[in-house]
Amino acid sequence: MKPKQIIIGIIILMCGGLSVFLLIKSRRATSASDEEGTAPTIVSVQVGALKRMTLHRFLTGYGTVEPAPATAHEPAAGAQLAAPGAGVVAKVNVIEGQHVEKGDVLMELNSGTTTADYAEQEVERQKALYAQHNTSLKALQDAEAQLAALQVTAPLSGTLTRLNVKPGAAVDVNTVVAEVMDLNRLAVRAEIPAAEADELQTGEEVQISGTGFQPVDGQDARPTTAPLSFVSPAVDANNGTVLMRALLPADNGLRPGQFVRLRVVTATHTHCLAAPAEGVVTDESGHSVVALVHGDEAAQIPVQTGLRESGWVEIEGTGLKEGDSVVTIGAYGLPAKTKIQIGNPNNGQ
């Protein structure tokens, strides 16, 4: 055989062997790929447990602390005091922050015709004469009326929160000379959108917390609760809101004029089944679901949602019960039935 033919034969044999090798390798790769394709996908998740608990629905807003309004049994808890007539302030008997009793004389005036001192002396003289039956009751009453026209008295017991004048100041009936408040009878006033007013009923609990609390009489102001006492039947046409008011308990630590946050409990569901909020997600069809854990698998369960509070959501769903594990972190986008690997060591309990 010629050398040329031998070389050609060798080349043909080598090409054939290489083809066989490549074919075998290709089949092995395809087989490995098929095996990988049939292997289940395992998703790492964290889980939490369903619980029975009490949940609330709240209406939230902001309000202002003010003196309580008048009721059938008590006068308003705050009053701005005007001078009884034109004159000059002769004497101021109080200082701001002082406690006063109803009827206390806070300041005295001199008018253009008489002075407070003379009017007081005339009252004492008329009393003495009346006791001796030497003057009429009308004369005594006229003297008392003249003195009253020269005095500013406290209409209620409380704290003198503002004093606007000093001795020597000229005043008239339009001058607000002082302000008195009963700090143990305060209320929170708020305006809420009219669309939300139907959820409110008097007697419901209002939770109140201040913004930038300041200490009062050495006590730190603190969050407090109060019953809802009034919901206006009328809507303010200027802003579309409804007035609501809650009467605060005594010694609540809040100041008149203080801006506060509030929320009203409008619904309470007791012993309801609840899931961690991050575990309640929306599926591709737009329905709420939870991923219920069975061993190493998670199956989506449709649920109806209710109240939400503090990271928990009220749910109702077929077969769900207290203590069931549901996927929390990793729940969003899970297929309908998925192999899972739980990442939190305590299994969400």
Q: Is residue 234 part of a domain?
A: yes
- Whether 297 maps to a domain, the answer reads yes
Does 289 lie in the same domain as 211?
Answer: no
Same domain, 260 and 330: no
> What is the rounded average pLDDT for all residues in the chain?
85
Q: Are residue 163 and residue 102 in the same domain, yes or no? A: yes
Inside any domain, residue 28 = no
Mean pLDDT of all residues in 215-226? 59
* Same-domain pairing of 251 and 263: yes
Please name the helix (run of DSSP H) or strand (run of DSSP E) that holds residue 327, with its range, or none: strand 325-327
Does pLDDT of 220 surpass 70?
no
Structure tokens at 324: 């069931």
Identity of the highest mean pLDDT range in 52-56, 285-289, 291-295: 52-56
Quote the CA–CA distance of 299 and 48 in Å, as a whole number: 15
User: How many CB atoms within 10 Å of residue 174?
Assistant: 8
Which residue did the predictor score with more confidence, 335 or 300? 300
Phi, psi for 279 (deg, rounded to 5): -90, -10
CA distances from 43 to 40, 98, 297, 338 (A): 10, 70, 10, 7
- Co-location of 175 and 228 in the same domain: no
Cα separation of 349 and 341, whole Å?
16
* Residue 32 is assigned to a structural domain of this protein: no
Q: Which of 249, 269, 289 is the last residue of a domain?
A: 269
Query: What CATH number is attached to the domain comprising 260?
Result: 2.40.30.170
Domain containing 94 equals: 75-181
Is 307 within the bounds of a domain? yes
Domain match, 80 and 177 both: yes
CB atoms within 10 A of CB 195: 11
State pLDDT tens for residues 155-201: 999 999 999 999 999 999 999 999 999 999 999 999 999 988 888 98
For residue 138, pLDDT beyond 70: yes
Is 27 a member of any domain? no
Residue 22 lies in a domain: no
168 and 127 fall within a common domain: yes
Do 257 and 331 belong together in one domain? Answer: no
Averaged over 237-243, what is the pLDDT? 93
Token output for 100: 């006063």
Shared-domain flag, residues 247 and 283: no
Lowest mean pLDDT across 63-67, 129-133, 190-194, 221-225: 221-225
Task: Provide the token pair at 268.
Answer: 């309470």
Q: What are the tens digits of pLDDT across the range 62-111?
A: 999 999 999 888 889 999 999 999 999 999 999 999 999 999 999 999 99
Residue after which a domain boundary falls, among 159, 181, 203: 181
Domain match, 162 and 85 both: yes
Number of structural domains the chain divides into: 3
**pLDDT confidence band for 212 (50 / 70 / 90):** very low
How close are the terminal C-alpha atoms of the chain, in Å?
A: 85
Cα 295 from Cα 339, distance rounded (Å): 9
Banded model confidence at residue 10, pLDDT cuts 50, 70, 90: low
Nearest C-alpha neighbor of 233 from the set 279, 194, 281: 194
Q: Is it the case that residue 232 has pLDDT exceeding 80?
A: yes
Among residues 269, 293, 319, the one where a domain terminates is: 269
In this prediction, residue 257 carries a pLDDT of 93
pTM confidence score: 0.65
Given a cut of 60, is residue 18 above it in pLDDT? no
Are residues 83 and 158 both part of a single domain? yes
CA distance 199 to 196: 6
User: Model confidence at 144, in pLDDT bands (50, 70, 90)?
Assistant: very high
Beta bridge partners of 158: 100
